[in-house]
Amino acid sequence: MSDTDKFDENGEPTRRDFIYIATAATAAVGAGAFAWPLVTQMSAAADTRAAGSIEIDLSKISEGQQLKVLWRGKPVFVRFRTQAEIDAADAVDVASLRDPQTDDDRFVPNTSGVIDKRLLVMVGVCTHFGCIPVGEQGKIDAQGKFGGWYCPCHGSHYDTSGRIRQGPAPLNLPIPEYTYISDTVIKVG
């Protein structure tokens, strides 16, 4: 069975693969929980917490890793994308998208006025009914058919830019309001 055969023509996982996906999702939650103390430490400034903002030190993330941070009760995903993931996002015909956005549209400039397309920051909430997508890099079942994120609740597939490509979700994964406050630290909210 090829990787793409693990989804039927509607983008739904096969029964056997759904079990695998559910297991992967559980594992992802576990990994997120493990990362939580680090996340808390990174966002510990009391004044920014009070204002509903968090600071994230991007220098803690390496290529191929994804960080999950809790912000206003929602997960924020920060993925350090590989060049292949960036190239895949740029190669998409934007006019063909349900929620047309270029990859560049999904970033804010850093303090030098440059967009760093390696570091993608998104709210990790599916725009269908609010499940948390999985996106374990290197595992096709956890990244969906387009190499980004997959929502196992009803089978929405997001690409490496977090744009909806298949399934019932109407919109791309949202980009939160954020700014760079130094070369390596962003403030979300």
**SS3 of 15, please?**
helix
Q: Does 69 bind ligand FES (CB under 6 A)?
A: no
Amino acid at 64: G
> Least distance (Å) from ligand FES to the CB of residue 105?
22
Q: Does 36 bind ligand FES (CB under 6 A)?
A: no
Window contacting ligand FES (CB under 6 A); options: 57-65, 110-118, 125-133, 176-184: 125-133
> Least distance (Å) from ligand FES to the CB of residue 129?
4
Using left for φ > 0, alpha for ψ between -120 and 50, and beta otherwise, residue 24 falls in alpha
Q: Does 125 bind ligand FES (CB under 6 A)?
A: no
Output 43 or 162, the one with its CB closest to ligand FES.
162
Hey, which residues does 70 pair with through a beta bridge?
A: 75
Q: Does 153 bind ligand FES (CB under 6 A)?
A: yes
Residue that is written with structure tokens 């939650």 in the block: 29
Q: What are phi and psi of 111, to 5 degrees?
A: -65, -15
Reference 63, options 43, 91, 84, 45; nearest CA is 84
Active site residue 154: yes
What residues are annotated to the active site?
Answer: 154
Footprint of ligand FES (CB under 6 A): 126, 128-131, 151, 153-156, 167-169
